Copies of this chain bind each other. A is one copy, B any other.
Amino acid sequence: MRQSVENAVAVCPVEVAVAVLGGSWKLTVVKHLTGGTMRFGELRRAVGPVTPRVLTRQLRDLEADGIVSRTVFAEVPPRVEYALTELGETLRPAVVWLDEWGAAYADREVSQGRP
Q: Is the CB of B13 within 8 A of A106?
A: yes
What residues of chain B lie closer than 8 Å to A9, measured between beta carbons? 106
Partner-binding segment picked from A25-33, A36-44, A71-79: A25-33
Question: A35 at interface (Cβ–Cβ under 8 A)?
Answer: no
A8 → chain B closest CB, angstroms? 7
Q: Contacts A14-B31, A27-B15, A27-B17 given; indicate if A108 touches B87 (C-beta within 8 A).
A: yes
Q: How large is the interface on A (under 10, 10 to 19, 20 to 34, 35 or more residues)?
A: 35 or more
Contact residues of A between 65 and 100, Cβ < 8 Å to B = 66, 87, 90-91, 93-95, 97-100
Question: A52 at interface (Cβ–Cβ under 8 A)?
Answer: no
What residues of chain B lie closer than 8 Å to A27, measured between beta carbons? 12, 14-15, 17-18
- What are the 7 tightest A-B residue pairs by CB atom distance, in nearest-first order? A16-B102, A13-B102, A13-B103, A17-B98, A17-B102, A14-B27, A12-B28
Interface, chain A (partner B; CB < 8 A) = 1, 5, 8-18, 20-22, 24-28, 31, 47-49, 66, 87, 90-91, 93-95, 97-103, 105-106, 108-109, 114-115
